[in-house]
Amino acid sequence: MAKTLNLTLKVWRQENAQAKGRIETYEAKDIPEDCSFLEMLDIVNEGIVNSGGEPIHFDHDCREGICGMCSLTINGVPHGPERKVTTCQLHMRKFKDGDTIWIEPFRAKAFPIIRDLVVDRSALDRIIAAGGYVDVRTGSAPNANNIPVEKYISDEAFDSAACIGCGACVASCKNSSAMLFTSAKVSQLALLPQGQPERTRRVLNMMKQFEAEGFGNCTNLYECEAACPKGITVDNIARLNREFMIACAKEGLRP
């Protein structure tokens, strides 16, 4: 017979960005330890709805750890206590019977609260959009070996491309900086031949949008790397700084 848990949830509730938020307490009873954290919230919400209450609002989509939607701060840690997993991949067996769990939204000025645990992370989308596109010849599918790429370069590019844009790096940073996210997106294309034509314009535009969105600066505490569910490293931030300095020099701008 599967083991079950009885838990106390301290959940942030807030009707909208202008409303005053508050912590409300819920009892999560007979929660199977094999269910995921989001499934646990589904069970709690079912009980709330059955008793005539308003369910806890939270964001999710794929529930497979690849979309980055499940942005919850659990006991003060973005995505919870387990390393390199998203909230939807966190299972209740990581908790103990009788635990009290604090659940809050990602906190950042650039991530305004929509309702309860749901935040607007479209600022990250606008940074990506500011980077624009890449110039490549279209037509019939090219041979895969037409553009040679050294393996260590392709490996680094793929590691950077693993970023799912969840915003955990922002939520974990005391400055609410999106440097790890932005650096991963810049690195992904700066490393590859296809990304060279727009290399200078891309980093300048993305950093300009970064500033416009109100994200803080990086102070090298590496909390972002520790919180990232995909293991994106701060090596990308060092690369972003180099890309930005070189781009500024080429355009005669002051960093």
Tens-place pLDDT, residues 106-127: 999 999 999 999 999 999 999 9
Cα 241 from Cα 243, distance rounded (Å) = 5
The contacts of residue 155 (CB under 8 Å, 6+ apart) are: none
Please name every residue paired with 104 in a beta bridge, in sequence order, or none if there are none: 73
Cα 180 from Cα 174, distance rounded (Å) = 13
pLDDT band at 73 (very low <50, low <70, confident <90, very high): very high
Cα 251 from Cα 59, distance rounded (Å) = 41
pLDDT exceeds 70 at position 1: no
User: What backbone phi and psi angles, to 5 degrees, belong to 81?
Assistant: -75, -15
On the CB side of 117, CA atoms within 13 Å amount to 25
Q: pTM here?
A: 0.93
pLDDT in tens, 5-20: 999 999 999 999 899 9
Q: Provide the pLDDT for residue 42.
A: 97
pLDDT band at 144 (very low <50, low <70, confident <90, very high): low
